[in-house]
Amino acid sequence: MFSLKRNTLKVILLSLTLLFSSKVFANEADNVKYYCNKVNGEIEYVLKDRTRVDCLTKDTAFEFDFAKKGYEAIGQSLHYSTLTNKKAGIYLIIKNPKEYKYINRLIKICKIYDIELIIVQDVSQKKLR
């Protein structure tokens, strides 16, 4: 079992850190390239079933996606985690304020399955909360 308080704090700290200190790009590929290079990860790591992890780090297999596709990201990250024996991770990009409705739901699911969740916002679109 995992500590709900510890994981909640981890999600919040990761989110806040990246929201204010990271560049965010309009397309997924540029976000993958930027973050994966920053953490010395491997981009588009090919698994034995020919699926591709967006960014494989020393400890985590990250799926990158936009908030509206967050539910798909959960399944993909868990799949990658299973095949790599690494922690599941999601790097979620928020494009507009309406997408915040997905965030609370995703945080709850990520806590249950111990998925590392990084949330960034694309401030080039509109001013967010």
Confidence (pLDDT) at 22 = 54
The 10s digit of each residue's pLDDT in 96-128 is 878 888 888 899 999 999 999 998 886 554 444
Q: Is there a domain that residue 57 lies in?
A: yes
Q: Is there a domain that residue 33 lies in?
A: yes
Q: Is there a domain that residue 65 lies in?
A: yes
C-alpha triplet 3, 108, 57: angle, nearest 5°: 70
The 10s digit of each residue's pLDDT in 21-34 is 356 666 788 889 98
Q: Is there a domain that residue 73 lies in?
A: yes
The 3 state secondary structure assigned to 33-76 is HHHHHHCCCEEEEECCCCCEEEEECCCEEEEEEEHHHHHHHHHH
Q: Which residues span the domain enclosing 52?
A: 4-121
Q: Is there a domain that residue 126 lies in?
A: no
Asked if pLDDT for residue 15 goes beyond 50, the answer is no
- Distance, in Å, from the CA atom of 101 to the CA atom of 92, rounded to the nearest integer, reads 13
Strands 42-46 and 87-94: what pairing? unpaired
Asked if pLDDT for residue 36 goes beyond 70, the answer is yes
Count of structural domains within the chain: 1
Confidence (pLDDT) at 41 = 95
